[in-house]
Amino acid sequence: MAFQTYANQIGETPEPIHVSEYRQRQEKLYSQLDDNSALILCSPKEKIRSNDVHFPYRTNSDLLYLTGWKDPDCVLLAIKKDNVWTTTLFVQESNIELEIWEGRRPGVEGAKKNWAIDEAYPSESISKILSERLKSVSIVYHCVGFNIKVDNLVENSINSRNRARQQIGEGPTQRIDPSLLISEMRLIKSDAEINLMRYSANISSIAHIEAMKNCFTGIGEWQIQAIIEGYFKFLGAKNWAYPSIVGCGENATILHYHENNKICNDGEIILIDAGSEYEGYAADITRSWPISGKFSDSQMKIYNLVLRSQRAAIQKCVVGNQYIEAHIAASKVLAEGLVELGIIHCSAEEALENGELKKYFMHGTGHWLGLDVHDVGIYKPNGEPRVFEPGMVITIEPGLYFGDWRSDLTDLDPKWAGIGIRIEDDILITENGPEVLSSLCPKDIHELESLIGQSN
């Protein structure tokens, strides 16, 4: 297993986000803030998993978006005064003792040299510097909940009733959550972000393909998970973007199944929803296929129906369409197909209205994708469904689930029992139509059947 084997498929390693792009992002955000204001973004604290062990650390995506800084104990402070802004980063100080145990830190000096900031200070100095600087602003843009010390400082600076406030009106009087402004920016991906997302999707696609190739009757769901996540890491992704869902048989009918502890049997469909995180950017791919390598007649009928609905939805991912049109298209194909198969006994129009379709397709067709797997961006600004623009990335993931363990599906024809199919791809909206970022991952029945078990 050499990396070179995959090099052609995976493409060139993309450039990380350049310092100048972080600067542009900051400027775009700051230009929307009121003058005489401060922007504060904090990283979350590290969380203890057990005793001396922490959960793998992942910082706040907004902070990552504006600075690229990945380490814990970080605060971004930007002060805008007379329409000039200064960006300050508070970071973990270099500490040779700690670094010997826990790993290298860029420290204050590293931050000053290589990052899109004007000045850096050790995290320990946040209280002193922040309380001093807040005296000179009237608005604080700040998301609470990441750093209690900073939350309290901001709260106190707004509520303080000292002499300086009474005499010269010193200090902020208002806190505004900046997250919606940042979300709007994050919703439209730059070329550099798209390259990272395409790479993350390629890594994930290869991992899915390897799972298909190495599958055999009797393999455990956890072993398939190990193949997938092993390939994420082998191909350069530091982590998954969300816990992998690997569900076989009736587990495929549980949308966010996570136990991954069952043996995979002949005749069962496995549903794998797994995506890597590469340089902070998520891929989100689902494939569903038979363990035996051969779809049964009923499995094939359901699979092809979901695939048709997915293709219909992808076609709607064009500039100028409302995002909801993809869901409407997918739902219509599914409802008509289920009527045709005799699973739904009313008309397709009625099934779309009366909840019949929702019995088998109970989730949305997609969500924004980016630094977060369920990425930010208001779906209905001013109450109206968002219209697609170039640079948006959305997942398209219709599915049908026939869990015969469900008390609301007791009259289900046994031939559909236990089938769970979801097909999920990551779609970039472009001026030239939808680009399927995850197109490397096969989904046609004949391609799947020829891959499954091939490496055994």
Just list the catalytic residues: 52, 256, 273, 284, 363, 367, 374, 397, 401, 422, 424
Beta-carbon contacts of residue 169 (< 8 Å; ≥ 6 apart): none
Q: Which two tokens stand for residue 388?
A: 């697609």
Select the span of 86-94, 108-116, 147-155, 268-276 touching Mn ion (CB under 5 A): 268-276
Partner whose footprint covers residue 277, from ligand GLY, Mn ion, none (CB < 5 to 8 Å by kind): none
DSSP H helices, 235-277, are none
Q: Which is nearer to ligand GLY, 193 or 284 (CB)?
A: 284
Nearer Cβ to ligand GLY, position 284 or 356? 284
CB of residue 273 to ligand GLY, shortest distance in Å: 5
CA dihedral 322, 324, 327, 331 (to 10 degrees): -100
Question: Residue 441 corresponds to which amino acid?
Answer: C
Task: Report the distance separating Cα 113 and Cα 21, nearest Å.
Answer: 16
What ranges make up the beta strands (E) of 275-327? 276-278, 281-282, 285-290
Q: How far is the CB of 270 from ligand GLY (least distance, A)?
A: 15
Whichever of 286 and 292 has its CB closer to ligand GLY, that residue is: 286
- Nearer to Mn ion (CB atom), residue 126 or residue 283: 283
**Residue that has been written with the tokens 């605060």 in this structure:** 75
Angle at 283 between CA 328 and CA 63, to 5 degrees: 105
Q: How far is the CB of 401 from ligand GLY (least distance, A)?
A: 13
Q: How far apart are CA 146 and CA 340, in angstroms?
A: 51
Collect all residues with Cβ–Cβ distance below 8 Å to 413 and sequence separation of at least 6. Answer: 342, 343
* Binding of residue 372 to ligand GLY (CB under 6 A): no
User: Is 76 within 8 Å of 29 (Cβ atoms)?
Assistant: no
424 phi and psi angles, rounded to 5 deg: -130, 125
Q: Is 242 in the site for ligand GLY (CB under 6 A)?
A: yes
Cβ at position 241, least distance to ligand GLY in Å: 8
Choose the one of ligand GLY, Mn ion, none that binds residue 193, judging by a C-beta under 5 to 8 angstroms depending on kind: none
- Distance, in Å, from the CA atom of 377 to the CA atom of 368, rounded to the nearest integer, reads 7
Site size with ligand GLY, rule: CB under 6 A: 6
Could you tell which of ligand GLY, Mn ion, none binds residue 242, using a CB distance below 5 to 8 A set by kind?
ligand GLY
Minimum CB separation of residue 275 from ligand GLY in Å reads 7
Q: Which of 284, 325, 425, 426 binds ligand GLY (CB under 6 A)?
A: 284
DSSP labels, 70-110? -SSS-EEEEEEETTEEEEEEEEPPP-HHHHHHH----HHHH
The CA distances from residue 61 to 58, 66, 69, 146, 367, in Å, are: 8, 9, 10, 12, 17
| Angle, vertex CA 254, rays to CA 315 and CA 306, nearest 5 | 25
Considering only residues 126 through 165, tell me which ones interact with ligand GLY, judged by CB under 6 A: none
How do strand 84-91 and strand 119-122 relate by DSSP bridges? parallel
Toward Mn ion, which CB reaches closer, 206 or 344? 206
Task: Give 248's strand partners.
Answer: 270
Handedness of CA 332, 334, 337, 342 (dihedral sign): negative
> At 381, which helix (H) or strand (E)?
none
Closer residue to ligand GLY (CB): 333 or 423: 423
Q: Where are the alpha helices (DSSP H) in 317-415?
A: 324-340, 348-354
Nearer to Mn ion, 193 or 273 (CB): 273
From residue 370 to residue 409, what is the string marking binding to Mn ion with x (rule CB under 5 A)? Answer: -------------------------x--------------
Binding flag, residue 279, ligand GLY (CB under 6 A) = no
In the complex, least distance from residue 403 CB atom to Mn ion, rounded to whole angstroms:
18
Cβ distance to ligand GLY smaller for residue 147 or 244 = 244
- Of ligand GLY, Mn ion, none, which one does residue 425 interact with (CB within 5 to 8 Å by kind)? none
> Interface with ligand GLY includes 397 (CB under 6 A)?
yes
Residue 384 CB, shortest distance to Mn ion, in Å, is 23
**Which 202-221 residues touch Mn ion, going by CB under 5 A?**
none
Interaction between residue 401 and ligand GLY (CB under 6 A): no
- Minimal distance in Å, beta carbon 284 to Mn ion? 4
Nearest to 195 by CA among 283, 298, 314, 300: 283
Site for Mn ion in 270-299 (CB under 5 A): 273, 284
By CB under 6 A, name the binding residues for ligand GLY. 242, 273, 284, 373, 397, 424
List contacts with Mn ion (CB under 5 A).
273, 284, 395, 424
